[in-house]
Amino acid sequence: MIIKKLSLYNFKNHSEKKFEFSPQINCFVGNNGVGKTNILDALHYLSVGKSFLGNTDLNNIKKDQDFFTINAEIQNDESEDIIKISQQKETKKIIKKNDKNYDRIADHIGYLPSVMISPYDSNLISDSGESRRKFLDSMISQTDAEYLFDLIQYQKIIQQRNALLKYFHKNRVWDKDSLEIYDEPIIKFGTKIFEKRQRFVGKLNPIVQNFYHIISGGKENVSVQYQSDLTPRFDTHHPYKALKEILIETLERDRMLTYTSKGIHKDDLLFEMNDILIKKNGSQGQQKSFLISLKLAQMSLVKELTQKTPILLLDDIFDKLDDLRVSQLIELVNQENFGQIFITDTHRERTENVVKKINDESIIFEL
C-alpha cells in the first residue's frame, strides 16, 4: 500500500496543505511547532480513523473553522483508491472510500495498516494497563475485522451492566436475574477476545525478543506476556467456563463496587527484562530499545497476518535516541523491507544523512 497524495484542509494548524509522496521515504523537517507531527497524525487518521495523540475529532478542527478534511490517493496492488475523512462541528465523522460511505467506521480498519514510533511510546511502559490494552487491541484490530466487532460489542455490554449496577445502588434495589442477562454475551464475546489476544501475543513475543537481541547485542532477555483474569484458570478450564466462574464469584463484589471488577476488560501486557518488569529494572536506553523492538515486531506481525506492508511513521525519534540506536533502527528498517516511511525531524542535514543510508528515493518537505 502506497500513499501517493495527501491533502489537508483545516486540520489542526494547517489551513491547506498538499503533498505528493515518494513510494519509499518522505521526511518533514522544520522547527518545533510548525505542524510536522500533525501531518503524521493525518496519516494515522487514514489508517485507523482517529488521532494517535488521543485528541477528539472536534479538537482537530483548526481554530475558528467549522470542519476539517483529509483526502488521500492510495495505490494498492490492484487499483487506486480515494480515501476522504471529514469532520464537521455539528455532525458525525465520515470516512469515504471512492465516494462511498462506510456503513461502520470500524469497517475501514485494516485497509491501510500502520505503525507509529514516537516519543509518546514511553507511556506504554509507564502508564496503566489501559494504554497497553488499547495498544494490543489496535494491533489485532488491524489484522482481524471480526475482533474489532467483538470488542465493540463486549465494551457496550460491560457499560450496560455497569449502568445497571449503579442503578441498583442508587435506588437501593437488587435484581440478580436482570443482571445475569448480561452474563451470556459477556462470556461469548469475552472468550473470543481472550483467545485471540493470547494467540497474538504468543506470536508477537518471539519477534520482539529477536529484534531486541539484534538492537542490544543480546545482553538481556526481554519478553511480552499476556496477563488476564482468565489465565490462572486456563490450564484446567475452557475460557468460556473460566469467565462464567469469574462472573459468579465476583457478583457480590461487583454489587458493592457498582462496576464489573474482573474480566478481559482488565487484561494487561507485562513487559519484562530478565523476568522483572522493565519499568522497574530497565534503564532509559534499555526501555527505548525495547519499545523500538516492540514496534518493529508489530510491523512484522501485521505484515505477516495481513499480507500488506504497513506504512511506518517515525515521529521525532532522532532527537530521542542516541546515534547507535538510530543506526540500528535504520539498519533493521532496511533489512525488513518495511515499505513506505514517513519521518519528522528538526534538522534537515541529519535527516538527509539518515535517509541516504536507507534509500536514495526520498523526498524532504520543509515546513
Q: Which amino acid is at 85?
A: I
β-pair partners for 222: 273
Q: How far apart are CA 118 and CA 253, in angstroms?
A: 40
What are the backbone dihedrals phi and psi of residue 207, each rounded to the nearest 5 degrees, phi first?
-70, -40
pLDDT of 331: 72
Q: What angle do CA 249, 253, 255 make, to 5 degrees?
A: 115
What are the backbone dihedrals phi and psi of residue 28, each rounded to the nearest 5 degrees, phi first?
-115, 115
**Residue the block writes with cell 499476556:** 226
pLDDT of 237: 61
pLDDT of 54: 78
Q: How far apart are CA 246 and CA 233, in angstroms?
A: 10
pLDDT of 153: 96
- Report the 10 Å Cβ neighbour count for 64: 6
pLDDT of 218: 74
pLDDT of 362: 84
pLDDT of 322: 72
pLDDT of 140: 95
Q: In what side-by-side order are the strands of the sheet with 80-88? A: 14-20, 2-11, 67-75, 80-88, 94-97, 100-101
CA distances from 325 to 51, 116, 212 (A): 27, 17, 11
pLDDT of 360: 66
Query: Which residues does 365 contact at the CB level (< 8 Å), separation at least 6?
Result: 19, 26, 27, 28, 29
Binding residues: 30-37
**Percentage helix, strand, coil for the chain under 3-state DSSP, each rounded to 5:** 50, 20, 25
Low-confidence ranges of the chain (pLDDT < 50): none
**Residue the block writes with cell 436482570:** 178
The enclosing H or E element of 70 equals strand 67-75
pLDDT of 202: 96
Binding residues for ATP: 30-37
Complete domains list, the chain, with CATH:
1-113+309-367 (3.40.50.300), 126-307 (1.20.1050.90)
pLDDT of 219: 80
